[in-house]
Amino acid sequence: MKNYLVRLKTILIIIAAVVGPGIITAFADNDAGGVATYSLAASKFGYGILTTLVPITIVLLITQEIGARIAIVSEKGLGDLIRERYRIKVSVFIFALLLLVNFGVILQNLSGLKSAYGLFGLNIYVFLPLTVATLFLFVAGLSYNIVEKFFLALIVFYTTYIFSAILAKPDWTQAAVSLVYPTRMPTVDYLFTSVAVLGTTVTAWGQFFINSYIKDKKISLDKLKYSRWEVYIGALLTNLISFFIMVAVIATVYKNQIVISDGAEAALAIKPFAGPFASYLFAFGLLVAGFLGSAIVPLATAYAFSEFFGYEGSLDVKFHQSRVFYILFLLQIVAGSILVLMPEFSLFKITLAADFLNGMFLPLIIYFLYRFANNADIMGRYTNSRLQNYLLLGSGAAIFIGSLVGLLGKLFLSTPGVV
Amino acid sequence: MIYFSELKNRSVLSSENGTLGVLADLIFRAFDVPVITKLVVTRDGQSSIIPVSFVKSLSPKIVVNDGQTDTALTENEIYVTKNILDQQIIDIKGNKIVRVNDVVIQDKPQFMIAGVDIGLLGVLRWFHLENPISSFLRLFGINVVSQFLSWGDIQPLELNRGKVVMRQEDKKLRRLMPEDLADHLEKMSIKNISKVIDLMDDRLAAEVVEDLNLTYQQSLFQTMPIERTVKLIERVDPDEAVDILLSLPQRKKQILSRLGPDKRKEIENLLKHSGTPIGGLMTSEFLTCYPEDSVSKVRGMVKKTQEFSFLKYIYVINHDDHLTGVVNLHELLLANWDAPIYKIMVPQVVVVHLSTPIEIAIKRLLKYKLEALPVIDDKRKILGLVTFDDIAQPLMDRLIL
């Protein structure tokens, strides 16, 4: 009995040491922009779109694992490695792109938050600034451990989507079959949408964030095995939630052929078919997603800045020691909120631009991951296997071609509803 | 001083037949004084190594004499680009980790690494935007200065890609130079210092103790077992040994009696003259400035010193009044009017303490061919100067005797 307890304790210590980076990054990938994209895709293609979830899970799993492994073995973030190996000019260029792309994603999240507040009838001019202030005080004022637990607690609220899906009374058998068996002939339109879904799940900022966060958490090499599983579990759970988001929309919005354009509209459209409670749960999920995204994405930029330019950047130190880090975090959410609160702000254009930029940027990041993960100088005996390389490069190519074709399609074919 | 960003990828000219290629890297000795030993020149993807003895000039043009190239690297030699530039270093004084944006090279008395630039200007310099942006910011009253750390104040995190693990204090310390180590130790409590010193072998311990300031030396030796004290005193420079013994009146005799006969004689001889206080010879006329002051500002300060009877050096102090460098008048006149002082200062200053015997002051003036030595207290604050004129009389007395 005593032996058993000791073993349990060891397991708990290991869990505490590794849980966080993989799960938090993966769930933040399902941010407000993600919820919007999933809802739109599901409302357009029904059960057929669920097939894309399996390959997306694999790509997320592969890229995040490589990022986590690089961070654990080298004890460095992606920004550190790019600066040290590719020098100052490349660093300035990559950071400028990251800042731009991330700002687009922050705008998506803040406007997601804005519409979620709207759904609950809360005054956005009061609650959005209040959210920003709370976020900043939380991140800058509290210790690393508490901030991490806070993020993990937020993730629990994603389960609202599960209940929302159940209340929508979907055809579970068809949903399960569609996951593994393609029920739809892939059209060009369908492919565009799949790439958009992939692009909102696998993100450039996510790659930077998982590295920085693992470095900040100081996970040691002997925990690599466990950390890997944490990343896998994070990716699986995240896509499980994506599955429920889509199912909830399919069973209501798609079934009744309603046209929606974002996550908030999806929440509203659910109401007449699944009841107000399901709608509220969905809207609450959107709120949590927007909140998590608005916290994590600017944090990813701030981390990357510290790494590229050598400022002290860690959640683990007090405000005055990491002033640049925290101020950069604050500036992004304040500037984003001001833009989002302006009446002429167009979410549609921003979403379009942010998704496209991310799609163009991600292959570049995948190139760096490929170079670092195969460099024995950095990785020692933990370099990539051949399979990992094929999968990594394959997803890089797919994202690049997809986002290029996707943008052209959106600009010139102007097919309505394509995400 | 020259910035590495101004040298990198610049053509390397041969004094006889044209261009040899472009400068890719510099090699320097990472221990002791960081002297630059070799240049790495690349041409069409081929790189060759040229010893620094062949270099005629680095600035404004890199010109080298013809001769044999491709010398092998020796122990402790590392690269600027590969090992320092863009890498993380420990800022020992600030006690934090920073990234190197540019490397500052000193060309006098020989080519060596003066320190690193970790500021915004270091980044902008690579884009040739240093001047436009700083003049632009000056319009708004923002004055951007270089954030310079001298070599003594930093510790590269990775040397030769061999990782230095920060968490293990002793491993990191082994990589430090003794004088840096001393600087680093002075941040710790005396109890911790003696613990660290206990771990070191006699040779390293003596070198480190020598560089600690007098207060620390005094407290350290008051508690150290006599056997170890004697071993260390035997190894430190006799000048320093005298300073230390003078600060330990109770243990002086005990320590002296256990020293080896030759060493004992040497030290006793020096101690005999310790009655002459430096304080009596000291001049209190000296000029100080801050490292970031411009040359033109300092020239302006010099113009206001009509009443000074002696002015050959301007001493550079930081904002805590610690002595950090020295500039001689000649260098000041030759430098660009808008250059900051730290670009032309020599960071290694030869000093004396109030308790230093006059013998030693004379020896130091002669050995380093200086005309004055600053007298500093335990906190490296300047108290005054001992000039060559001041010691002329005591010197005469000794010659006649």
Q: Residue A193 — pLDDT band, cuts 50, 70, 90? A: confident
Residue B101 DSSP one-character state: -
Identity of the residue in B86, B98, B118 whose CB atom sits nearest the CB atom of A88: B86
- Name the H helices within B224-281: 226-235, 238-246, 252-258, 261-272
Question: What average pLDDT score do residues A405-416 get?
Answer: 62
pLDDT at A256: 80
Looking at A75-203, list the stretches that DSSP marks H as alpha helix, in order from N- to C-terminal side.
78-119, 124-141, 144-156, 160-167, 172-180, 188-201
pLDDT of A10 > 80? The answer is no
* Structure tokens that stand for B33 in this block: 């004084």
Instruction: Please give the C-alpha separations between residue B180 and each of A21, B117, B352, in angstroms, as whole numbers.
Output: 37, 18, 19
Rama region for B394: left / alpha / beta (φ>0; ψ in -120 to 50; rest): alpha
pLDDT tens-digit readout, B270-306: 776 666 677 777 777 889 999 889 999 999 999 988 8
- Mutation for testing the A interface, residue in B99, B100, B147 having most A CBs under 10 Å: B99
B96 touching A (Cβ < 8 Å)? yes
The CA-atom distances, in angstroms, between A207 and each of A121, A257, A364, A409, B399 are 36, 36, 11, 27, 76
Residue type, A382: Y
- Taking alpha carbons only, the member of A300, A311, A295, A232 closest to residue A69 is A232
Q: pLDDT-based confidence at A318, cuts 50/70/90? A: low
**Separation of alpha carbons B138 and A309, rounded Å:** 23
State the pLDDT at residue B170: 39
Q: Count of residues for chain A?
A: 419
Q: For residue A319, what pLDDT is reported?
A: 65
Q: How far from chain centre, in Å, is Cα B163?
A: 25
d(CA B385, CA B279) in angstroms, rounded, equals 9
- Per-residue pLDDT band at B96 (split at 50, 70, 90): low
Say if residue B189's pLDDT is above 80. Answer: no
- Percent of chain A scoring above 70 in pLDDT: 93
- Tell me what pLDDT residue A102 has: 92
Q: In chain A, whose CA is at the least distance from the CA of B119?
A: A309
Query: If you average pLDDT over each of A226-240, A266-280, B138-152, which comes out highest?
Result: A226-240
Average pLDDT of the residues in A8-29:
80
What's at A153, amino acid-wise? A
Instruction: Work out the mean pLDDT of chain B and round it to a whole number.
Output: 79
Range from A50-59, A60-69, A119-128, A342-351 carrying the lowest mean pLDDT: A342-351
Q: Given pLDDT bands bounded at 50, 70 and 90, which one contains residue B248?
A: confident
- Residue A393 pLDDT: 92
A84 closest CB neighbour out of B86, B101, B127? B86
Q: In chain A, whose CA is at the least distance from the CA of B123?
A: A88
In this complex, do A310 and B127 lie within 8 Å of one another by their Cβ atoms? no
Please list, residue by residue across A315-351, b when 16 or more beta carbons sit within 10 angstroms of its beta carbon and e when fewer do.
bebeeeebeebbebbbebbeebbebbeeeeeebeebb
Say whether B345 sits in a helix, a strand or coil.
Answer: coil
Q: How many CB pairs under 8 A join A and B?
A: 31
Give the residue from B148, B62, B134 showing the smallest Cα distance to B338. Answer: B134
- Contact (CB, 8 A) for B38 and B69: no
Q: Is A187 helix (H, G, I), strand (E, B) or coil?
A: coil
Whole-number Å distance between alpha carbons of A241 and A102 = 23
Report the alpha-carbon distance of residue A143 to residue A164 in Å, rounded: 34
Token output for B363: 């020896």
pLDDT at A237: 92
> Which pLDDT value is given to residue A419?
39
Q: Is the per-residue pLDDT at B241 higher than 90? A: no
Position B166 scores a pLDDT of: 31
Q: What pLDDT, on a 0 to 100 scale, did the predictor assign at position B167?
A: 28
Among A284-298, B264-278, B323-337, B349-363, name the one with the lowest average pLDDT. Answer: B264-278
pLDDT, position A3: 73
- pLDDT bucket at A417, cuts 50 / 70 / 90: very low
| pLDDT number for residue A226 | 86
Mean pLDDT of the region B74-84: 78
Q: How large is the ipTM?
A: 0.75
Q: How many Å apart are CA B276 and CA B358, to the nearest integer?
A: 6
Position B168 scores a pLDDT of 31
C-alpha to C-alpha distances, B99 to A82, A320, A322, A372, B104, nearest whole angstrom: 13, 19, 15, 20, 14
CA distance B152 to chain A (A): 19
* Residue from the list B85, B86, B97 with its beta carbon closest to the beta carbon of A312: B97
CA B287 centroid distance within chain: 20
Whether B99 sits inside 8 A of A83 (CB atoms) is yes
How far is it, in rounded angstroms, from Cα B322 to Cα B318?
A: 5
| B250-266 pLDDT tens trace | 888 888 888 888 888 88
Q: What is the pLDDT of residue A366?
A: 92
Residue A301, pLDDT score: 92
The residue in chain A having the minimum alpha-carbon distance to the alpha carbon of residue B88 is: A310
Using the predicted structure, report yes or no on whether residue A416 has a pLDDT greater than 50: no
Q: What is the rounded CA–CA span in Å between residue A303 and residue A329? A: 9
Residue B188 banded pLDDT, cuts 50, 70, 90:
low
User: In which residue are the tokens 């293990």 written?
Assistant: B168
Residues 6+ apart with CB under 8 A from B19: B11, B12, B13, B43
* CB contact (8 A) between residue A309 and residue B123: yes
Contacts of B231 (CB under 8 A, 6+ apart): B202, B206
Q: What's the CA gap between A335 and A340, in Å, rounded?
A: 9
- What is the pLDDT averaged over residues A158-175? 88
Average pLDDT over chain A reads 84
Q: Give buried/exposed letters for B175-186 (b at 16+ CB in 10 A, else e).
A: bbbbbbbbbbbe
Q: Is the pTM above the cut of 0.90? A: no
- Going by their DSSP bridges, the two strands B2-3 and B55-57 should be labelled as unpaired
Q: What distance in Å separates the CA atoms of residue B36 and residue A265, rounded to the nearest whole number?
A: 67
Q: Over the stretch A347-382, which tens digit does the pLDDT of each residue have?
A: 767 776 777 788 788 889 999 999 999 988 888 888
Nearest CA to B54 out of B62, B63, B65 is that of B65
The alpha carbon torsion through B328, B329, B331, B337 (nearest 10 deg) reads: 130
**Disruptive mutation site among B123, B133, B154 for chain A (greatest number of A CBs within 10 Å):** B123
- Which three-class secondary structure state does DSSP give residue A192? helix
Asked which of A193-207, B152-166, B255-269, B289-303 is least confident by mean pLDDT, the reply is: B152-166
Q: Which residue has the tokens 């004499």?
A: B65
Q: What would the mean pLDDT of A86-105 be, rounded to a whole number?
A: 91
List chain A residues with CB under 8 Å of B161.
Answer: 377
A100-144, pLDDT tens digit by residue? 999 999 998 998 898 889 888 888 899 999 999 998 988 888 877
CB contact under 8 A, B98 and A310: yes
Per the model's pLDDT, the better-predicted residue between A8 and B372 turns out to be B372
What is the pLDDT at residue B191?
Answer: 65
**Mean pLDDT, range B127-144, rounded to an integer:** 81
Q: Does B168 touch chain A (CB under 8 A)?
A: no
For residues A129 and A337, give the distance between their C-alpha atoms in angstroms, rounded to a whole number: 7
Task: Return the exposure string of A140-170: e unless at least 16 CB atoms fall within 10 Å of the residue's CB, then b.
Answer: beeeeeebbeebeebbebbebbbbbbbbbeb
C-alpha–C-alpha distance, residues B86 and B116, integer Å: 10
Q: What is the mean pLDDT of residues A320-330?
A: 81
CA A249/CA A37 separation, integer angstroms:
11
Q: What is the pLDDT of residue A235?
A: 92
Answer whether B157 touches A (CB < 8 Å).
Answer: no
**For position A210, what pLDDT does the model report?**
92
Model pLDDT, residue B203? 78
Say whether pLDDT at A309 is over 80: yes
Supply the pLDDT for residue B172.
Answer: 43
Instruction: Select the highest-mean-pLDDT range: A38-47, B57-66, B102-111, B203-212.
Output: A38-47
